[in-house]
Structures are given as structure tokens and as C-alpha cells.
Chains A and B, each alone.
Chain A
């Protein structure tokens, strides 16, 4: 066992997968430059020396290198592409949505596109265009799997599972959770380290994780909101409210089995989402819960999400934009006590 942060765990996952399978390679901007950063958040630091020719630095061309990853994957390679900031996925989205996600269907099942696209998200003092929570734009894309990791154990196990999956997998990471060190350390970072076991393991791409068991209310979150929900549950516990916390983790498809078991038990749901409330992932999740488990709900599902605004820069507004534990706890408290 060793204690690792997400950046280190992802690096180990990539190293192990590239060692195991010669068809795995990495492609992205500034990921393998000697003397560089190893990607925007150090995930691929040092790998270009270990794997010559397989850590491919690209021009600044997100649409282009995403298409290159799709084409290589169709020919049997297993590319791990990454964008420096999730916001750049808008540039890449034609290749991701029109080609990667649809190629199998359009070909009548003849084609597989085993690629991973990693994307850091989250509001972190960078203003509006290096900050968005991009999950909402991709969770409803048939043919694309979407996951979001909140700790190092999952980061390693889910990335390995994503690399081995025969479908395109969009892999979200949060900038405050990397635990990147040195010049790439992130102010306001949250501890997302885990005890990482020796040896190979994977974590399924379609299972939510119960992080805390409880009987009174179900708190759902992912990425940073999984941490904030857990902190809220701690607060609520001190008030005699027993909250269950689920790290949704798999955003497409949702794990309604795990979520449903909790809803049946508690009858109350608070969904926390970083990102505008209107049209968010939590909207789909709330509707899905209502359709499937409506008769078990004692109260309507509540969402705690950001205001319907672009991500602001100034810290006082950014901190308000990002749902915190206090807001999540307040929503749960109101749901129970009225």
C-alpha cells in the first residue's frame, strides 16, 4: 500500500497500461516535452522518457488530435488523449460526438473505438473559460461512456478500466483534487489521496460508490461535490441527521441500482452539482430518480447547483458559484425539517 494523490495514481495507471499493452499511447498538448510539465497537471510527467514515441505531443489542435485518436482507435490502438482544460472539449466535440460515439452504430456494429479522453474540470480561479463543468454536455451522448473520479483509488482503477474498455470513455478529473505538486500545485486543493494497493486492479465504469451509509437522506455528488457532500454529511451527523453519501462516479450510464437502493431507504434526495442548475446532469438524475423511484420519495428531489451564470473570476463570487458543504447541508436540513 502507498498513499497517492490523483495525479500520481493516474500516472501509475498509464504507466502500467502502457507496459501491459503496446497499443496504448498518450496524445495531447505539452504532455511529454522534456523539461516540461507532463501535461497541464503533471499526470504524464516523466513518461516520455519511459515510453519513447508513445507520449505524443501535438500542436494546439484539440479537434485535430481528437480525430487522430479516434482514427487510431478504429485501427486497434488504444489512445489516451487529454485536453489541458475540459473547456477545450467544445473544440474536440465534433470528433468525439459525431465520430467516436456514432461510428459503431453507423457501421452496424462493425467498428470499435477504444479510446479515452481525459478532461480536467472545475472552477479554480481561472475565470470563465478554464473552469466549466463539462459533464452536462456529454452525458446524453449515446455511444459515449462518461465517468468522473473523486479520489486516487478510483482514478487509477477507473482509468485502467477505461483503457481496457472497447468504447470511447470520457474521463473527468477535478483540478482541485489532483494533488499536483510543485509549480503545478493548485491553491485551494482538497485532499483526494487514497491508499493504493500493490498490483493490478480496476474499478468498474458503471458503478456508483456509497461513501457513507445513512438512513435519513441521500446526498448525491461527483468530483468535488462528492467531497463536499461528505463534509455536509459530517455536519448533519452532529445535528442528528443521518445522511447517506453516494459518489455517482459513473455519469453515463448512471448506476440506478445503487442510487435506487438508497432512495428506497431514505426517501429523500439532495443532488449537488458544480455547474449551472439549468440543464445540468442533476436535472437528468432527478428526472431519472423520479421516474424510477418516485413512489419511494417522501419529498421531491432537491438540487444544489451553481447559479445560471458563466464561472466568475473574483474569489468571492467563485466561492459562491461552487456549492459548498454548508449549502448542501442546508438543503438536506430543509428537506427533513421543512
Chain B
């Protein structure tokens, strides 16, 4: 691994930030102070961090109902995220989006699209605009394995293929669409194989290895910028928490869970980093402490953040 020390520590910080953010949000939700519902990404942090690290500030991502990790990875702040989840007017969508629709266009993230596969044609359309205007931008479109069964996947991916659009289709394959395992809904469970049937390149990557994800996404982004897009990246990963809210995941086999938990993306990356020789455990502990402080401060602020007034109900409908 020849990557710059600050760069890899930055990746580690993002991984830990997402994990700690999600754990804190889960607590806030269960204690009853946070409204709404939540779909969390503990265990999948490396997909978001690896892909977004390969993108530039002017590149975009689209996300799903499980978008907290994508948002933090793309550069949204803890504060604007927590404020949004608490429904505050200082949130990234002024409290009108909520957990499933976090985003910030100024930071390159379309508000989460919570209809499964709904972001796929939309991302292709963004890429069409980039291509028509020759801007050199790319869009990374995150979706889960469940989205592959939707018609929107086929239609959007096919049009991206025939027009060589600069879009990286990022399938976070966590093996389950809600509670249904992929082997029940896919005859061929290798998602990346589908790219070949549309005439472009697909690749399956260890989604719990942040460097592997980063390298695959970097290559994909370069291909897109060179007019050789799209690319389908299938990132194999695992959700350590429920599909939503109080889901206890009884449908996940114990042996399967244990196998995946032993491949936790943060633990693995920490081991890699400590093996470099220029990073000590104290460095990692300091990062975790700083992240915890940032989140703690964020929660204190978010709980006091101003909420929209009733007059805001009818604003932002039309331009």
C-alpha cells in the first residue's frame, strides 16, 4: 500500500465517523428523541467511503433510503445531517427531507431517492447532461441488490450503456432486500455479470475493503471521464443492523453473521493501517475520540436547533 498517510487516515476517519454516527442515531431513535424512521448502514461504511474518495467535489452521487453513510462520505457535515434527522430548519434539506432524503446539492449529493431503483434512471440523466455539456463530471449511483429486480434498473442502465454515459452504477450487495435473501430473487446472484448483457464492464469487489473499493471506483471514474462509461461495480458487503428501525434480523443465519462480522470493514482497515509502520494505535484512538466529540457536540446542537414554522409547510413546492 503506497497511499499517503493523511489520505488513509482520512478514509479511516470517515469510516469511524459513519459507524459512530449511525450508532448514535440508533440510540437517539430508540430513546425516542428522534422522529421518523431510520435505515442504517453499519457494516457497509467502506462502500460509501471508498467510492466517494474516488470522486471530485464537482462530481455527484445519488443515494437511497439508506443514505447516511453516503452523505457523510460525500462531505455533508454531521451537524446538517443531525439537524435534518431531528427535523430542524437548519438541516441539509431544511427538515423537509428527513432520514430517507438527506442530500446537499452544493456538496454533490442529490437528496436520497427512497423508491427502490428510482435513482438509477435519474443518475443516467445527470450523466447525460454532463456528456452533452462536456463537463467531465461523473455521477456515482448507489443502490442495493434489491434494486436490480426493478424495471428502472434495466431501463436506466441500458440507456446509460447505449449512450456511453459517465455514470458509475454502485450496487451495494448486502445479500438482503429488506428481509429477502438474494438467492430467492436472483437466478444468477452475481450482480456484476449483468453489465456484460448491456455491453459494458462490470466488476465484483470486496465491499468491506475500503482500499479495494477506492481503487475500483477510481478506475471506473477514469473510464467514465474518458467516455468509456458506464461501469457497474458490485460491492459485496453486509448490513450489521436491521433493515429499518427495530428489525432484529432474525432472518440472517448466525454463521453468516459471524463470518461477515469477522470481516468488518473498520477492524480490517485498522489492522492494515497498523501494519504500515507509520500509524500507531494512538493515532486511531485519537481519531475515534475526535469523531465522538464531533457527534456529541452535534447532538447537543441539533436538539436545540430551530424547527420550521407552520408557514414553511407550503413553501418550496414550486420554483
- Which residues on A are within 8 Å of B, measured CB to CB? 25, 53-54, 56, 58-59, 61, 63-77, 79, 94-95, 98-99, 103-112, 114, 142-143, 145, 165-167
Contacts and interface: CB of A to CB of B under 8 A. Distances in A.
A70 B128 CA distance: 11
Contacts of B155: 59, 61, 63-65, 67
B50 interface: no
A94 B150 CA distance: 12
Given A98-B115, A106-B111, A71 B158 contact: no
Given A64-B152, A103-B111, 14 more contacts: A56-B128, A64-B154, A67-B118, A68-B122, A69-B125, A70-B121, A71-B129, A72-B129, A77-B132, A105-B317, A106-B93, A108-B93, A108-B95, A108-B96
Interface stretch (B29-37, B97-105, B245-253): B97-105
30 contacts: A53-B132, A59-B155, A59-B159, A64-B159, A67-B118, A67-B155, A68-B124, A70-B122, A70-B125, A71-B126, A74-B125, A75-B125, A75-B130, A76-B133, A95-B122, A98-B118, A99-B118, A99-B122, A103-B110, A104-B317, A105-B317, A106-B93, A106-B111, A107-B97, A108-B94, A108-B316, A109-B315, A111-B110, A112-B319, A142-B317
B318 interface: yes
Nearest to B105: A110
Interface in B148-167: 151-152, 154-156, 158-159, 162
A67 B317 contact: no
B123 interface: yes
B169 to A, nearest CB: 13
A279 B127 CA distance: 39
A68 to B, nearest CB: 4
Interface of B: 91-97, 101, 103-106, 110-111, 113, 115, 118, 120-130, 132-133, 151-152, 154-156, 158-159, 162, 315-319
A306 B154 CA distance: 37
B173 to A, nearest CB: 22
Contacts of B318: 104, 143, 145, 167
Contacts of A56: 128
Contacts of A76: 129, 133
A94 B120 CA distance: 12
Given A71-B123, A107-B97, A110-B93, A95 B319 contact: no
Given A59-B159, A106-B96, A106-B97, A71 B124 contact: yes
Nearest to A76: B129
Given A95-B122, A107-B103, A109-B316, A64 B115 contact: no
A59 B158 CA distance: 9
Nearest to A104: B316
Contacts of A69: 125
A226 B159 CA distance: 39
- Dominant SS among interface residues on chain A: mixed
A143 B315 CA distance: 11
A95 B123 CA distance: 12
Contacts of A66: 121
Nearest to A143: B317
B128 A68 contact: yes
Nearest to B126: A71
A94 B119 CA distance: 11
A74 B91 CA distance: 21
Contacts of A68: 121-122, 124-125, 128, 156, 159
B159 A107 contact: no
A68 B152 CA distance: 11
A187 B138 CA distance: 48
A320 B303 CA distance: 62
A92 to B, nearest CB: 10
Contacts of A53: 132
A21 to B, nearest CB: 13
Given A61-B155, A64-B156, A68-B159, A105 B96 contact: yes
Contacts of A105: 96, 316-317
Nearest to B112: A106
Given A67-B152, A99-B118, A72 B96 contact: no
Contacts of A107: 93, 96-97, 101, 103, 105, 111, 316
